[in-house]
Amino acid sequence: MTATKLVETENSDGGKDDSYFLKHKYQDKSLEELQLLLKDETISKNQKKKIKKQINWLETADERKELRKKRKIEYKERNKLNGTKKRKLEKVSTNENFGANYHVAIDASFNDLMDNRDIKKLAKQIGWCYKENRRSVCPVQYHMCGLNGRLKGAMDPSHENWDLHFDADVLKQFEKDNLVYLTAESDNILSNIDRGKVYIIGGLVDHNHEKGLCQKLCVEKGIATARLPLGENINIKTRKVLTVNHVFEIILAFLELQDWKAAILKVLPPKKLPNQDGDKLTKAPGLLCETNQHHIEIKSEE
């Protein structure tokens, strides 16, 4: 099998521009496949540099593993000398007292609307939400609804052991009266987070191509919607977009602080907001990418 043939036969996921994506991303390929691609004369020099970089990454995997082990041992020894221990995280997920707990769900039913690149971005955001919830002083019951297909394949390999709820589709899992879908287009402003309600974040990274989709679906299915009180707490100028993890983190921050403005600024601090010269929002490394579920508009003080 030639290198070109190898690339072509892998274009079977049905996502947008998958052939382009697979031809320019090599982190999922084996060392043998990369070495075969390196011999393909149709691949540009720039792409061959990327292939060589990935080959080097795979060849040094054992060295990095040993380095991580060494650092872990050093960390434990240092903590032992200092008399400190890593805080043990208590189990969060529970099926008891549903009405007494706070609930946030990710609607993972939009696989077909994203290409492979955005699927991976969403998987990373979902993992970030999990980490923040585990460390939060006010954790919520974290639900993943309808996780399957390419998104499930892109998740961290350990995700099945995570301390969260893996549920069926939203309407199959919860009573409609308990649902509040968070969308930027909603006319309802979210004033509080209530126990027993399930606040849903649309799991869709689409660079605004499907703007208003979740609001439209909720209207059709009779699901209540609300939007975060962004414009009511910070000044507005240019349209920006919140990631899934930013919406999730703002909810966690509000439960801790009981103040929307403080919660929003904790997640999106002033240094990340545009200044009077119109600077753009600073990107959080590896996480900030567009989703059409919540927009933030920011303007400078007059």
Instruction: Give how far Cα 300 sits from Cα of 229, 275, 297, Å.
Output: 18, 6, 11
Give φ, ψ of 239 to 5 degrees. -75, 130
Rounded Cα–Cα distance for residues 230 and 297 (Å): 8
Q: Identify the three-state secondary structure at position 145.
A: strand
Q: Is 206 a residue of the active site?
A: yes
- The helix, strand and coil proportions of the chain, stated in percent and rounded to the nearest 5, come to 45, 10, 45
Instruction: Supply the pLDDT for residue 80.
Output: 76
Q: What is the 3-state secondary structure (H, E, C) of 43-91?
A: CCHHHHHHHHHHHHHHHCHHHHHHHHHHHHHHHHHHHHHHCCCCCCCCC
Spatial CA neighbour of 119 closest among 109, 105, 104, 129: 109
Instruction: Supply the pLDDT for residue 57.
Output: 85
Instruction: Supply the pLDDT for residue 30.
Output: 85
Residue identified by tokens 């290198």 is 3
Instruction: Supply the pLDDT for residue 241.
Output: 63
Instruction: Supply the pLDDT for residue 73.
Output: 86
Numbered ranges of CATH 3.40.1280.30 in the chain: 101-298
Rounded Cα–Cα distance for residues 266 and 280 (Å): 18
CATH 3.30.2130.10 is the classification of domain 101-298: no
Residue in 187, 206, 259, 277 annotated catalytic:
206
Task: Per-residue pLDDT tens, the chain, 302 aa: give them.
Answer: 444 434 433 444 444 444 333 444 677 788 888 889 888 888 888 888 888 988 888 898 888 889 888 888 887 887 777 776 666 677 888 888 999 999 999 999 998 898 888 999 999 999 999 999 999 999 999 999 999 999 999 999 999 999 999 998 999 999 999 999 999 889 999 999 999 999 999 998 876 677 888 889 999 999 999 999 988 888 755 455 688 999 999 999 999 999 999 999 889 856 455 553 444 443 333 333 334 445 444 333 33
Instruction: Supply the pLDDT for residue 248.
Output: 97
Rounded Cα–Cα distance for residues 302 and 299 (Å): 9
